[in-house]
């Protein structure tokens, strides 16, 4: 079982590196939009998700096998703590996997944020088109101040 766990952790590292690579490419494409490249990255994301699912299935098989052997565990890290006599190679592999997982979450959040900003920008453009640039403010100006158009009407009506 020890060799199977180490093999799984190495497989997980490969999948995580692939995910990081895809997320970094996607981030670049989101900043400098290229419709064709974005569609290609989608296919790459789908292939990477298949690899990740295979890795998760492998993890479940290892944990089920360990439970059949009498280990009461619900994570690979807990299993490693019970099986391996001293923290050695597995500890480094688990820590590296955790670090890559944090990087994946960070990049995914950054990509999501860029996408949301693009959607907000698109909404603003649609509002300008709808109001022909002559939209009324969505707030009441203070007395004595000029009434500047700031938009917001389209978004306010939809919300």
Dihedral angle computed from the Cα positions of residues 39, 40, 43 and 48, in that order, rounded to the nearest 10 degrees: -130
Percent of the chain with pLDDT over 70: 82
Q: According to DSSP H, which parts of the chain are helical?
A: 2-31, 35-68, 76-83, 89-131, 153-158
The domain tally of the chain equals 1
pLDDT band (50, 70, 90) for residue 139: very low
Q: Given a cut of 70, is residue 142 above it in pLDDT? A: no
Q: What is the average pLDDT across 46-74?
A: 91
Say which range, 57-66, 72-81, 104-113, 135-144, has the weakest mean pLDDT.
Answer: 135-144
Predicted pLDDT of residue 158: 47
What does the pLDDT read at residue 145?
56
**Per-residue pLDDT tens over the stretch 70-118:** 888 888 888 888 887 776 778 888 889 999 999 999 999 998 998 888 8
Closest CA to 50 of 22, 73, 26: 22
Residues with Cβ within 8 Å of residue 3, at least 6 apart in sequence: none
Q: How many CB atoms lie within 10 A of CB 124?
A: 14
* Distance of alpha carbon 150 from alpha carbon 124, whole angstroms: 10
In sequence order, which residues have a C-beta less than 8 Å from that of residue 63 and are 6 or more positions away?
73, 74, 75, 76, 79
More confident residue, 31 or 87: 31
pLDDT band at 159 (very low <50, low <70, confident <90, very high): very low
Q: Which domain range does residue 91 map to? A: 2-158
42 or 35, which is more confident? 42
Task: Give the CATH number for residue 124.
Answer: 1.20.58
Average pLDDT of 58-72?
90
Which residue bears the tokens 């890795």? 55
Share of the chain above pLDDT 90, in %: 31
The arithmetic mean of pLDDT across residues 145-157, rounded, is: 51
Mean pLDDT of the chain, nearest integer: 81
The answer to pTM > 0.85 is: no
């Amino acid at each position: 079982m020890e060799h199977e766990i180490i093999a799984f952790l190495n497989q997980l590292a490969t999948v995580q590196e692939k995910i990081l690579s895809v997320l970094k490419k996607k981030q670049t494409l989101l900043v400098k939009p290229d419709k064709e490249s974005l569609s290609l990255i989608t296919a790459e994301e789908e292939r990477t998700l298949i690899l990740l699912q295979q890795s998760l299935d492998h993890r479940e098989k290892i944990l089920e096998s360990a439970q059949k052997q009498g280990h009461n565990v619900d994570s690979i890290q807990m299993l490693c703590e019970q099986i391996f006599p001293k923290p050695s190679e597995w500890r480094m592999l688990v820590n590296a996997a955790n670090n890559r997982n944090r990087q994946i979450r960070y990049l995914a959040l950054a990509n999501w944020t860029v996408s949301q900003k693009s959607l907000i920008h698109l909404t603003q453009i649609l509002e300008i088109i709808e109001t022909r640039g002559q939209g009324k403010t969505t707030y009441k100006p203070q007395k004595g101040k000029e009434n500047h158009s700031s938009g917001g009407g389209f978004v306010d009506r939809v919300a």
